[in-house]
Amino acid sequence: MTWISIVAAAAGALLLMLLLVLVVKNRHLPEGEVFVASRWTRGNRIFPTQVAITPESVIQRKPQWLGRREESIHIDHVASVKTDTGLLFSEVVIETSGGSEPIVCHGHSNADATRMKDIIEHNQTASAA
C-alpha cells in the first residue's frame, strides 16, 4: 500500500464521520409539530434551529458541534408570540410571563412563522379550557 492510498482512505473515513455527525445532529425532534429554519439564513447553515410545538410546551433546539442548546417554555407561560416577516423569511419571538429571556427563532419561512403562532395560540386556548 502506498502513502497516497493510506491518505486517501483516511480522508474518506474522516469525510464519512463528518457526514454521520451532520446526519445525527440534524435529526428532527420526536414530539409535536416541528419547524426547521432554512439553511439559507444566518446561524442555520450547518445545524438549523428546530422548534417543536406540543400541546404542553414550546421547545427550541440549536444543535452544535459538541452538544446542543435547548430551551423549553410551558404553554401556560407563553406571554406573547411576535412575528417579524421579511420578503422570504421571518423571525419569531416567543416571550414568557416569567420574565426570562424570550425564545428567538430566525430563518423560518413566513408560512411556518404564521403556523407556529397559530398553533401556540390554539394550544393556549385549549389549555385554558
Q: Is the dihedral of CA 116, 80, 27, 41 positive or negative?
A: positive
Q: Can you say whether residue 99 is alpha, beta or left, with left for phi > 0 and alpha for psi between -120 and 50 degrees?
A: left
The answer to the question of residue 122 being in a domain is yes
Please tell me the predicted confidence (pLDDT) of residue 11: 83
Apex CA 15: angle with CA 14 and CA 18, to 5°? 90
The answer to the question of residue 61 being in a domain is yes
* Tens digits of residue pLDDT in 86-127: 888 999 999 988 777 888 988 999 999 999 999 999 998 887
The answer to the question of residue 23 being in a domain is no
The answer to the question of residue 10 being in a domain is no
Query: What's the whole-model pTM score?
Result: 0.74
More confident site: 73 or 1: 73
* Tens digits of residue pLDDT in 7-60: 788 888 888 887 777 666 666 666 778 899 988 888 788 888 899 999 999 999
Matching residue, cell 430566525: 106
- The structural domain count of the chain equals 1
Backbone angles phi, psi at 29, to 5 degrees: -60, 145
Q: Tell me the CATH number at 99.
A: 2.30.29.30
